[in-house]
Amino acid sequence: MLGKKILLCVTGGIAVYKAAALTSKLVQAGAEVKVAMTKSACQFVTPLTFQALSRNDVYTDIFEEKQPDKIAHIDLADWADLVLVAPATANMIGKMANGIADDMVTTTILATTAPVWVAPAMNVHMYDHPAVRRNIEILYEYGCRFIEPGEGHLACGYVGKGRLEEPEKITALIADYFDSGTKPLSGKTVLVTAGPTIEKIDPVRYLTNRSSGKMGFAIAEEAAKMGAHVLLVTSVDRLPAPAGVERLKVQSAADMYETVMGLYKQADIVIKSAAVADYAPVHTSDRKLKKQPGPLVLELARTKDILKELGEQPDKPYLVGFAAETDHLEQYALEKLEKKRADMIVANNVSHEGAGFAGDTNIVTIFKRDGAKIELPLLSKHETARRILQEICTTLEMGWAK
């Protein structure tokens, strides 16, 4: 981070005290830091604190031009190598998503062409509000990167997700971003499938499963951080696409099959984390099926086994499958590894607490074709994704052959 120019935009919340510590950490790491503050932020910590820690002027008023020959918010916007909004309140996220520029912070953010990172901090219910989630999704689409808040005791008294990430962690993420070393997946294309498939019965009914797509999205995001070109094939639209990831929208198992088989030749690695339906209705209706006396019999047919068909290709990429089980985990995972000709199977027992669908954590065991078995403890899905990708990189570095 030596010599990197970071503009820290501080907005009004109790977590401002962490922004002061973050300023100090960034400066200690070698970065040049300038701080812009909203009026609300100044109610919690004075600009003088940030001036002392950054050893630079602090910007609070768009009408205060410190140098007559420069327009301050344009000069700051052009100066920065990275803009970091921390803490980012719900109000600030809403302004950014809607292009509102009514103070020093928002005008500078709107004017910059530098990467913009956002570190939210707010009450757990505010963070989960549909309006806030929508605004976050908009900013993802604009290319902003988010540093997810942590979970724990909040200043409002609630316990939940909403704590500003710790300054040490944010500093490490920025240092990694600026790392000039070669990323382990640079030059590689990674195809990831995520979430459930949706099998239509009629215009209002469908068959699906409980997969949220969070594990696949985490893998896609971490692969992109490692330098890969990532193709994310998914039916999930309620999760924002990770920065730098190309999302390809599908719905049914048939859609996913066609998309994956059309793309796999571009990929060096295919990670099949989607929960693809094993069966789909034989007959579908374009009109809503009305209730009839007696039972309804729904005829189902097997869907195509995407993992198996990929494994049978003579030019198959490095192939990773997932196995969500409720019993006989190792037996079923090893059988899948062999039958599908996969190179790695990531298995988890979804009946265990912390390893089921929709959560933010996972407990997995990795089975590799060379016989290796790696058991991971309870981890966040992002950390689980990193560990899976590290195992893939290790295999590739050892001269994996198709």
Q: Where are the alpha helices (DSSP H) in 200-347?
A: 214-225, 253-263, 306-311, 329-339
**Burial label, 94 (beta-carbon count in 10 A; 0-12, 13-18, 19+):** middle
Was domain 189-397 assigned CATH 3.30.2350.10? no
- Same fold yes or no, 5-178 and 189-397: yes
Bridge-based pairing state of the strands 373-375 and 365-368: antiparallel
Element (H, E) at 36: strand 32-37
pLDDT tens digits, the chain, 402 residues: what are they? 888 999 999 999 899 999 999 999 999 999 999 999 999 999 999 999 999 999 999 999 998 887 887 888 999 999 999 999 999 999 999 999 999 999 999 999 999 999 999 999 998 888 889 999 899 889 888 888 888 887 655 555 655 556 788 899 899 888 878 875 568 898 899 999 999 999 999 999 999 999 999 999 999 999 998 889 999 999 998 888 787 789 999 999 999 999 999 999 999 999 999 999 999 999 999 999 999 899 989 999 999 999 999 999 999 999 999 998 889 999 999 999 999 999 999 999 888 887 777 788 899 999 999 899 999 988 889 899 999 999 999 888 755 444
- Among residues 344, 81, 51, which one has the least CA distance to residue 219? 344
User: pTM of the entire structure?
Assistant: 0.60
Helix 104-111 vs helix 72-79: crossing angle, to nearest 10? 50
Token pair 């960034």 is found at 26
List all residues 6 or more positions away from 167 whose beta carbon is below 8 Å from its beta carbon: 18, 21, 22, 24, 25
Verify whether residue 144 is a known catalytic residue: no
Q: Residue 117 forms beta bridges with which residues?
A: 84, 145
Token pair 């996969």 is found at 342
3 φ, ψ (degrees, to nearest 5): 80, -5
Q: What is the pLDDT of residue 401?
A: 45
| CATH superfamily of this structure's domain 5-178 | Flavin prenyltransferase-like (3.40.50.1950)
Catalytic residue among 9, 42, 156, 393: 156
Question: CB–CB of 350/357 below 8 Å?
Answer: yes
Q: E strands along 61-184, which residues?
A: 82-88, 116-120, 145-146, 150-153, 159-163
Torsion region of 336: left, alpha or beta (phi above 0 gives left; psi -120 to 50 gives alpha): alpha
Tokens of 400: 């994996």
Q: What is the pLDDT of residue 120?
A: 92
Question: CB–CB of 59/36 below 8 Å?
Answer: yes
DSSP 326: S
Query: Domain locations in the chain?
Result: 5-178, 189-397
- Residue type present at position 6: I
Q: What is the pLDDT of residue 181?
A: 58
Sheet architecture: strand order including 373-375: 245-249, 229-234, 189-194, 269-272, 318-325, 344-349, 365-368, 373-375
Q: What is the pLDDT of residue 153?
A: 58
Q: What is the pLDDT of residue 184?
A: 87
Q: E strands along 180-305, which residues?
A: 189-194, 199-202, 205-207, 229-234, 245-249, 269-272, 279-281, 300-302
Q: Where are the alpha helices (DSSP H) in 312-365?
A: 329-339
